[in-house]
Amino acid sequence: MAGELPDNAKLVFGEHVERAAEFVRLLEEHGVERGLIGPREVEKIWDRHVLNSAVIEELFEPNERVVDVGSGAGLPGVPLAIARPDLRITLLEPMARRIAWLEEVKERLQLDNVTVLRGRAEEGPIRKQLLNCDAATARAVAPLEKLTKWCLPLLRGGGRMVALKGERAQEELERDGAAVLKAGGANAKVVVVGADVLEVPTTVLIVERQTRRDR
């Protein structure tokens, strides 16, 4: 069963692993019926979704302010919040039914470091509310060109967009590199995390928001 506690979950979540297991149970029980995951994903929740998301925790400094753009089922924001309770994470999501889910998860898991916010990253009021975040995360939300336009305005200068991507992340970066620069991005790179704990590690595309020095 997907709900059994894998050894690598203990390595990634440490003392917080039971909270992560509860999130997996919630996704198993309600994820398909609420349109959050496909039926074939139920047996893959730990590795493909929860651990895949949580291993990015090594990319964040202590006590950073993070916005998870298009959070959906809560990925990667919820696993990240569980693994790193020092981070202050806003789960940003436009759909009402997903907002309801995220609120339920926050309450059920007692995630005091999480705020749930309805809206889109490109909306003016949202940009004002989330101004100067240290980092923005995203997973399976949009192509890089669009993602940088949405995420970078939410960041302080030098803040990072941390986008979980597939094996073709480098190709995407080469294709959209000019658009990244135009959107105010700098120092874009592809990194792989979780290779020591996951059979298929997580590929991440990191783009910094330009500072005055970068211009």
- Encode pLDDT of 127-186 as tens digits: 999 999 999 999 977 889 999 999 999 999 999 999 999 888 999 999 999 999 999 999
Q: What is the pLDDT of residue 205?
A: 96
In a domain, 116, yes or no: yes
Residue type, 196: D
Domains held by the chain: number: 1
Q: What is the pLDDT of residue 1?
A: 42
124 is in an annotated binding site: no
Dihedral of alpha carbons 49, 21, 194, 199, sign? negative
Q: What is the CATH number of the domain that holds 182?
A: 3.40.50.150
In a domain, 58, yes or no: yes
In a domain, 142, yes or no: yes
Distance of CA 61 to the CA centre of its chain: 15
CA distance 152 to 161: 7
Please say whether the beta carbons of 95 and 103 come within 8 A.
no
What are 103-108's contacts with CB under 8 Å, separation 24+? 104/26, 105/23, 105/26, 105/74, 105/78, 108/22, 108/26
In a domain, 44, yes or no: yes
* pLDDT above 50: residue 84: yes
Going by C-alpha positions, the residue among 120, 127, 79 that lies closest to residue 99 is 120
In a domain, 1, yes or no: no
121 is in an annotated binding site: yes
139 is in an annotated binding site: yes
CA distance 66 to 89: 5
In a domain, 210, yes or no: yes
35 is in an annotated binding site: no
In a domain, 39, yes or no: yes
Beta-strand runs (E) in the chain? 65-69, 88-93, 114-118, 133-139, 155-165, 185-193, 202-209
In a domain, 2, yes or no: no
70 is in an annotated binding site: yes
What predicted TM-score, i.e. pTM, was given to this entire model? 0.94
Please say whether the beta carbons of 9 and 21 come within 8 A.
yes
Residue type, 101: W
> What is the extent of the structural domain holding 70?
7-214
Mean pLDDT for all residues in the chain: 94
